[in-house]
Amino acid sequence: MKPVLVPTTDVNSETGLLLAWHVGDRSEVQAGETIAEIETSKAIIEVPAPEGGFLLYAAREGAEVRLTEPVARLFADVGALEAYAEEEHRRRAEAAASGPRATAPARRRAEELGVDLASIGGDSLITVGMVEAAAAAATTATIELPDPLPGVAALPRIALIGAGLGATQVIDILQAAESGTAVAIVDDDASRWAGEVMGVPVVGGFERLVTLFGKGAFDAAIIAISTSVPARARLRAALGANGIPLANAIDPTARIAADVTFGTGNVVCALCHFGVGTVVGDNNFLSAFNSYDHHNRLGSDISTGPACTTSGLVVLGDRVRLGTGIYMEPHVELGDDVQVASGSVIVASVPAGHAVKRRTVTTVVVPRR
Amino acid sequence: MIAARAMGDALRAALEEDCRVILLGEDLVDPYGGAFKVTRGLSTDFPGRVRSTPVSEGAIVGLSAGLALSGYRPIAEIMFGDFLTLCFDQIVNHIAKYEAMYNGKVTCPVIVRTPSGGGRGYGPTHSQSLEKHFLGVPHLRVVAGSLVHDPAAILRALLAQDSPVLLIEHKLLYPLHLMLPAGGRIEGDIAEVHISADGLPTVSIRPVPREDCWFTVLAYGYQAELARRVLSRLAVEEEIFGELVVPSQISPLDWEPIDASVSVTRSLLVIEEGVEGFTWGSEAAARISSCFFGELRRPVATAASAPTVIPTSKMLEAGMLMTSERVEQAIRQAAA
């Protein structure tokens, strides 16, 4: 097969108009014979056959053709031409049947989740979000969602948000502290629905939480997602909008000094220390061995790793994210949305929206001699 | 239909619909039909009303001014936008001033059309985008052709009003197909058309609903087409969603559709092919920063060609002009 290109050096045109074919489709042509006329923005160009053979049109008369692409193809014999034409026809049919417009990430996600893109209606571009929503809807339709546990008399019934490992920590703290009993978990990942975490059923997504609260199935919620500060902040706002109160989960091994005040929705893991006069906001997830010395002020929606230690009079803004093993000098103030890398020693205040980086100390692993 | 032919058809319609329309310019007459063949066939069909002129841009535009003052509707073609410097005096000191200077007793509705822009290796004096020197001239409209706008509709709107117009046509658009909005779509993307009080359209193109776009790109002409292709690809391949706003009149700007987009995306990138510094983008940045102070998520970004002479070597030219690669780079930065 030999492609027939338009012989032009015209730099002004990317396309031309196919004015006329001088020979029939699938006819035999001689080398050098004029087979077509193409009009560009500059001129009318005659297209000669580059060699003899059987000609297959690649464009119809009156069509705009790209000058970099063949207008026809030449074959040594009719058999080769027919085979090519048949293959081309099959390819076209396949392309036409390839279905709706979707982004590449959406196609990959649809394959992972087993979603048929054609089932997502409308003529809009299909996105990952739409595929996931369709998968969730399909799951909802087929899964029988479990009911929350009845709870234990005299203990507040707690619903957890997030069925990941954070939920295991919160359930363990509630059991140890006997300050509440987890009766249900919700998670927007539908693949977790109808499962359970430490005996607590995953009863559906956020919408189910709202429904269950309306039915009086639980008393307060705790956000059990430890690492994502944006998710914690967003979910706290969503709970507020639906009038659902938050509860604290404070491990009994935590040492809480005099005159310490807590907001709501805080998760405090084992062996934490809160010095005299410290004020803690709402919805913070504080990992084990955190020590906030006297008269600290903590904002809301904070998430920390284990072993973060502050001196007196330290201030943490809202949505602060601390790594593991961090020390802070007295009077240090971290603004809202500050992120601090593991192992940092903070000696000066950090303005809002900034990150504290630290040169990584790599542990070198060598084989034993 | 390719843009050059669509513009030719628009001129043909203007000649047919309005006997006051006269076309003037260098080498317009058949068989040559103009340097970019936009006027091909028109001198044959409208003898006497489509005229080739001597090689003097000052004369072409000065003659147009006289015709316009006498009640005609001259449409002058300047063969390359670079030669606009030769009619700067006629446009700025005379044509744009008459109506205000004589308190509305006369009008001077001249339309000056010109091909602009680089990318063809035409060198330092046949590749520039000099329109920025005409932006903000009082009483002068600067309009730019883009593939998403119908040249016939724009020409009709311009002929229906009396202000003088500089109409910029990027030469790389001439051989490309128009991509007009149809049924609220352009190639599957959502396309919204906003028509200004003067009948001039702005087209906003987005792959997904505006609420799901996180930045706005403002561009016109060939840069709008480059941005459209990049945005379309980034949407499909990487789910990077931005809205492209393409005004037809670039000075004065109709801010309404731009504000509508930025108020939702809260981020703006302005792209133009002219050289950077004291630009269309600077004006948009100043205006949007002032109106949306405190609401924007990041400073308004601008992208323009490097401030130097355009080389003839295509390789060196691509090193300083706003190419597809540089447009993509700017968009990725705005989307980050």
- Classify B293 as helix, strand or coil: coil
Q: Which residues of B touch A105 (CB under 8 A)?
A: 238-239
**CB-closest option in A104, A105, A125 to B208:** A125
Q: pLDDT tens across B194-251, in order? A: 999 999 999 999 999 999 999 999 999 999 999 999 999 999 888 999 999 999 999 9
**Contact of B320 with B309, CB cutoff 8 Å:** no
pLDDT given for residue A95 in this prediction: 56
φ/ψ region of A35 (left if φ > 0, alpha if ψ in -120 to 50, else beta) reads alpha
| Bridge partner list, B328 | none
B84-96 average pLDDT score: 97
**Contact of A284 with A322, CB cutoff 8 Å:** no
pLDDT band at B327 (very low <50, low <70, confident <90, very high): very high
Q: Chains A and B: how many Cβ contacts under 8 Å?
A: 52
Q: pLDDT tens across B179-205, in order? A: 999 999 998 899 999 999 999 999 999
Q: What does pTM read for this prediction?
A: 0.64
pLDDT given for residue A210 in this prediction: 94
**Contact of B273 with B322, CB cutoff 8 Å:** yes
Residue A228 CB: number of other CB atoms within 10 A?
Answer: 17
How many helices (H) and strands (E) in chain A? 6, 30
| A64 in contact with chain B, both atoms CB, cutoff 8 A | yes
**CATH 3.40.50.970 in chain B, residues?**
3-170
Q: The sheet that has A53-57: what strands, in order across it? A: A2-4, A72-75, A53-57, A28-29
**CB-closest option in B36, B185, B189 to A41:** B36
Six-digit token string for A234? 């967003």
Residue with tokens 């630290």: A358
- Classify A333 as helix, strand or coil: strand
Class of domain B185-335: alpha beta
Tell me which of A40 and B320 has the higher pLDDT. Answer: B320
* DSSP conformational letter for A50: S
Q: How far is B63 from chain A (nearest CA, A)?
A: 28
Six-digit token string for A241? 């909008």
Identify the closest residue of chain A to B118 by CA–CA distance: A12
**CATH 3.40.50.920 in chain B, residues?**
185-335
d(CA A239, CA A220): 10
pLDDT given for residue A93 in this prediction: 64
Quick check: B239 and A103 CB within 8 A? Answer: yes
ipTM above 0.85, yes or no: no
d(CA A346, CA B192): 51
Q: Which residues of A touch B206 (CB under 8 A)?
A: none
Tell me which of A143 and B153 has the higher pLDDT. Answer: B153
- The residues, ordered by sequence, that sit 6+ positions from A95 with a Cβ below 8 Å of its Cβ are none
Q: How far is B145 from chain A (nearest CA, A)?
A: 17
d(CA B258, CA B98): 31
Superfamily of domain B3-170: Thiamin diphosphate (ThDP)-binding fold, Pyr/PP domains (3.40.50.970)
Q: Sign (positive/negative) of CA torsion A26, A32, A37, A39? A: positive
> What H or E segment, with its residue span, contains residue A36?
strand A34-39
**CB-closest option in B120, B185, B212 to A11:** B120
d(CA A61, CA A46): 14
Q: Which residues of A touch B4 (CB under 8 A)?
A: 41
Q: Which residues of A touch B237 (CB under 8 A)?
A: 103-104
Confidence check: pLDDT of B58 > 70: yes
SS (H, E, C) A197-224: ECCEEEEECHHHHHHHHHCCCCCEEEEC
pLDDT given for residue A97 in this prediction: 54
- The residues, ordered by sequence, that sit 6+ positions from B58 with a Cβ below 8 Å of its Cβ are B86, B87, B89, B90
**Contact of B180 with B151, CB cutoff 8 Å:** no
Six-digit token string for B328? 């993509």
pLDDT given for residue B90 in this prediction: 97
Q: In chain A, which residues have pLDDT < 70?
A: 9-12, 42, 92-99, 121, 140, 359-363
d(CA A255, CA B19): 93
Amino acid type, A154: A
Q: How many CA atoms lie within 13 A of A317 on its CB side?
A: 15
pLDDT given for residue A86 in this prediction: 83
d(CA B236, CA B335): 15
Domains belonging to chain A, first-starting first, are 2-96 (2.40.50.100), 104-142 (no CATH), 157-241 (3.40.50.20)
